[in-house]
Amino acid sequence: MAERRPLLRAAGGVLVSGGLLGVLAWRLDGAKILADLAGLHLGWLLAAAALGPLQVALAAERWRLASGALGAPLRRVEALTEYALSTLLNQILPGGVAGDVGRVIRQRRRGLGLATGAALVDRGLGLLALCLLTVGGLLAWPGRPAGTLVAVGLVIFGMIVLIAVLRHRLVPALGPQLLAHGALSAALLATLLLGFHLCGRALGADLGPALWSVVPLLLLAMSLPLSWGGWGPRELSAAALLPAFGWTPEAAVALSATYGMSVLLGALPGGVALFIDSRS
């Protein structure tokens, strides 16, 4: 049964992404979505994609610090190449965690427990930072409807659960490096928001307040290991939330799809890591 879990997770990711995209194609005007995508400005899309290597570098440094604090030190070039490959695999393989699993397997010589712990802390720190940004964005939601307050409560509850699960590893991993982890996570989130802004410009649109009120929720949706590269949950969330800021559901899906393309393009340089033995 254990041997089948990766296959089941991958199949589940394909079904979730395909099913949600299918629902959107059925309910929305596909011609309008395609028209928006056909008119996007390639320069802005490539600018968003160019953020990919920077995001990998920031996340890899956070992982390197966490791994070293847990007793499994990494050289900076090794952390960078391994994380680049992990990011690419997470994009091209269904399930959302294939790259992370591969990163753990490739680092198992340091001890499978240590490698797993470092990967979990890295993911956990990223999710905690994103949850904090999401709470701030929700509190800034215009009019602050009751549903927003419920969402804030759910996100805070999720943060508490995450901290409780990872507390034995988070405390030693953070330690005196709290400021460094905070700065890296803040810089990484800033590049993610900038990526969405550039994708909006590629479509000739301005996200405005939605950049900090809605985009964190989209990032949270695509970070959950339930899909193929974030496709499906991200688009559904965009179609449901961005209309509150004046977007049509079709334009929201076009924006989300543009961001998905930029992320995939930005992850492609990770393929170079396949030809680099950074561990030697």
All residues at 6 or more sequence positions from 215 whose CB lies less than 8 Å from its CB, including other chains: 137, 192, 193, 196, 207
Does residue 211 surpass a pLDDT of 70? yes
Mean pLDDT in residue range 27-54 = 96
Mean pLDDT in residue range 234-242 = 95
Rounded-to-integer distance, Cα 202 and Cα 256, Å: 12
Q: Whose structure tokens read 């590049």?
A: 191
Q: What is the pLDDT of the chain when averaged over all its residues?
A: 87
Q: What are phi and psi of 107, to 5 degrees?
A: -105, 10
Rounded-to-integer distance, Cα 83 and Cα 100, Å: 8
All residues at 6 or more sequence positions from 58 whose CB lies less than 8 Å from its CB, including other chains: 184, 187, 188, 191
Q: Domains of the chain: which residue ranges?
A: 40-275
Mean pLDDT in residue range 271-279 = 69
Give bridge partners of residue 231 from the DSSP assignment: 228
For residues 65 and 183, the answer to whether their CB atoms sit within 8 Å is no
Question: Model confidence over 132-172: pLDDT tens digits?
Answer: 999 988 888 877 676 777 888 888 888 888 888 777 777 67
For the chain, give the percent of residues with pLDDT over 70. 91
Q: Could you tell me the CA-to-CA distances from 85 to 14, 100, 104, 264, 269 in Å, in that order?
A: 21, 9, 12, 12, 8
Does the pTM exceed 0.85?
yes
Rounded-to-integer distance, Cα 274 and Cα 85, Å: 7
What is the per-residue pLDDT for 12?
A: 76
All residues at 6 or more sequence positions from 198 whose CB lies less than 8 Å from its CB, including other chains: 44, 45, 47, 48, 51, 262
pLDDT interval class at 197 (50, 70, 90):
very high
Residue 133 is given by DSSP the state: H
Among 74, 103, 77, 76, which residue's Cα sits nearest to residue 88?
A: 103
What is the per-residue pLDDT for 2?
A: 46
State the first-to-last Cα distance of the chain, in angstroms, to the nearest integer. 35
Question: Model confidence over 65-78: pLDDT tens digits?
Answer: 988 888 888 999 99
